[in-house]
Amino acid sequence: MSIACFPEIYPDELVYSVLARFYVRTGYLTYIFCAEELLVNKRVRPDIEFINDLKPEIVHLLCQNISIEQLIEKHTMFPYYARFLSKERRNRAFDALCNMSGDYNNLLGIPKQKNGEQRYLRYCPLCAEYDRSVYGESYWHRKHQLMGVKICPRHNCRLINSSVLICGKVCPDLVSAEQEIKEQNNIVYGNRIEQQLAEYIDNVFMSDVDMENGVEIGKFLYSRMSGTKYVSVRGKQRNIKLFTDDFITYYKDLSEQGLTELWQIQKVLTSYRINTFEVCQLAMFLKISVEDIVSMSLFEKTQEQTFDEKVKRMHNKGIGYNKIARELGVSSRTVRLVGKQNVRAKKNYTVKCGVKPKNWEQIDKETLPLVKEAIKQLQGTKDERPHKVTEYAVCRLLELPDKRLKLLPQCKGEVLKYQESQEQYWAKEIVWAVHKIQKEGEVLNWKKIRVLTNMRKRNLIASLPYLEKIAEPELLELVKSVL
């Protein structure tokens, strides 16, 4: 047994990848010896996107710090294929995966590749460089295997095919990323819409899956069309032709990826097509936030109300009635009518008593010291990497619901004190990176800064005015000298 050298799983790493790294570490002469140690049935081909029936001791090693459920959710492609399935199928597939019983393939309904194209494990050359600097080796990331997404959501550059086929009839084997990833000098970036969509899909993919959500995705998307010009004011008619035309124009630079036809769009809106790429494409076009698409809660209100709300919201932002009318594709008379109701409602507004409210003032006071502590932690030190201080980051650290600070004015105020621009934040990251490189006794150059901070040169240049304020003069000169 070579179990002593079983590697720890990296963030976003595929289970396949950690098994492949194990194979390399053990130094087995042939694959089959390694398979014997890992798999219940050594002749089965290792599953690249999901998980095989593994020996209990291997499951134990993989689940030292996480549960099997977390392993499936955070280290297999499960969320990509299952998020928008019906609740029942999603849960059955999840159980099948947790039990490693193998029939998840049918349940997940993985879409076929167009024109019989082969799919290969892919990688991002810049992530690989980053991983090598941080972990000393590269590995296979889940987020580079999102079917339909052709660029790295983090670096926006084209993903590169390895020689490892994801499906198809090939000999069983475990191939580590290190064996496959070569130095890349030719980095090609995706265009703007590709970047936006990749980032959106990645954010959806990385969010927790709500296993209990029973809302059909088509219904949800459709509910979000109300109040737009694609559905008549009273919600009776929809103009799917206009929707499709606008949609296609919006994604014209996406080069024939995802949805391209009216009938396909209709199938998503009726929940027959549920793949994450297409759903996200529609959701981003409809300006649905990632949070909303992930939680998919249906309005329990009528369509009329949601139209009214939209008008109110826009008007409260100071947008004129005529402009609102143009944007929503209705007459300005209709908009004015709704607007007047809004003004009247505001005047009559009184505080209603109902459910006994929580004592938020008290909670606010008690949470404040924790928030201060969290901010300190996020700011980092010379030796610890700084993080941007945001409401979201503080809530994550304190394990509070994302929007909790809205109810806690003192805490929120504290976070706002530390709000900084991206450039200010970059300046802090540079100071940290330079210290780290120097501490490790290495020669400072641009590439090392880039790998550590993930920054582009223009980012560094943009942050120079702030760097001047916070860095010692020698450090500043040093940074300027590598530009």
Residues lying near Zn ion in the complex (CB under 5 A):
124, 126-127, 152, 154-155
Question: Could you tell me the smallest distance in angstroms from the CB atom of residue 203 to Zn ion?
Answer: 15
From the CB of 154, what's the least distance to Zn ion, in Å? 4
Long-range contact pairs involving 188-191 (C-beta distance under 8 Å, separation at least 24): 188/157, 188/158, 189/151, 189/156, 189/157, 189/158, 190/150, 190/151, 190/156, 190/157, 190/158, 191/253
Please state the closest distance from residue 126 (CB atom) to Zn ion, in A. 5
Q: CB of 127: closest distance to Zn ion in angstroms?
A: 3
For Zn ion, which is the closer residue by CB, 431 or 449?
449
Say how far apart CA 14 and CA 46 lie, in whole Å. 12
**Helices (H), ranges, 83-191:** 87-98, 104-108, 125-135, 177-180
Residue (14 or 126) nearer to Zn ion, CB? 126
Q: Rounded to the nearest 5 degrees, what angle is found at the Cα of 320, between the Cα atoms of 314 and 322?
A: 110
CB of 126 or CB of 274, closer to Zn ion: 126
As a whole number of angstroms, the distance between CA 179 and CA 31 comes to: 14
Nearest 5°: the CA angle 299, 302, 306 is 70
Distances (CA, A) of 71 to 94, 100, 359: 11, 12, 38
Cα 418 to Cα 435: distance, rounded to the nearest angstrom: 23
Least spacing, CB of residue 373 vs Zn ion, in Å: 32
Q: Which is nearer to Zn ion, 127 or 282 (CB)?
A: 127
Q: How far apart are CA 349 and CA 243, in angstroms?
A: 37
Q: How far is the CB of 123 from Zn ion (least distance, A)?
A: 8
CB 209 to Zn ion: min, Å: 23
Residues 6+ apart with CB under 8 A from 384: 432
- Report the residue number, 154 or 412, with the smaller CB distance to Zn ion: 154
Nearer to Zn ion, 155 or 428 (CB): 155
Closest distance of CB 153 from Zn ion, Å? 8
CA quadruple 144, 145, 146, 149: dihedral, nearest 10 = 60
Structure tokens at 393: 């980051």
Closer to Zn ion by Cβ: residue 126 or 433: 126
Q: For residues 207 and 454, which CB has a smaller minimum distance to Zn ion in the complex? A: 454
